[in-house]
Amino acid sequence: MPIVKIAKTIRTIEVSEQIEVLATDPAFKADVEAWIRKTGHLLISYTEEGRNRIAIIEKTK
């Protein structure tokens, strides 16, 4: 569950630090966008390469 891993990791970093997430979950784009909308963190970039989906997220609070 990539979203769970993101939520766990975001707790361990400082505000304005970024994390890069590599996922293969087909629903990852929809999930990460919903998570961003709800939690208010920033989605810096989202790219797809084959099965891999890469998101860069910045902690805002």
Q: Is 9 in the site for other proteins (CB under 8 A)?
A: no
8 A C-beta contact, residue 58 and residue 41: yes
Residue 51 found at the interface with other proteins (CB under 8 A): no
Chosen residue from 16, 18, 24, 45 binding other proteins by CB under 8 A: 24
Q: Examine residue 38 and tell whether it contacts other proteins (CB under 8 A).
A: yes
Q: Counting contacts by CB under 8 A, is residue 3 touching other proteins?
A: yes
Report how far apart, in Å, the C-alpha atoms of 47 and of each of 13, 14, 15, 41, 42 are. 22, 24, 23, 18, 15
Give 9 or 18: the residue with its C-beta nearer to other proteins.
9
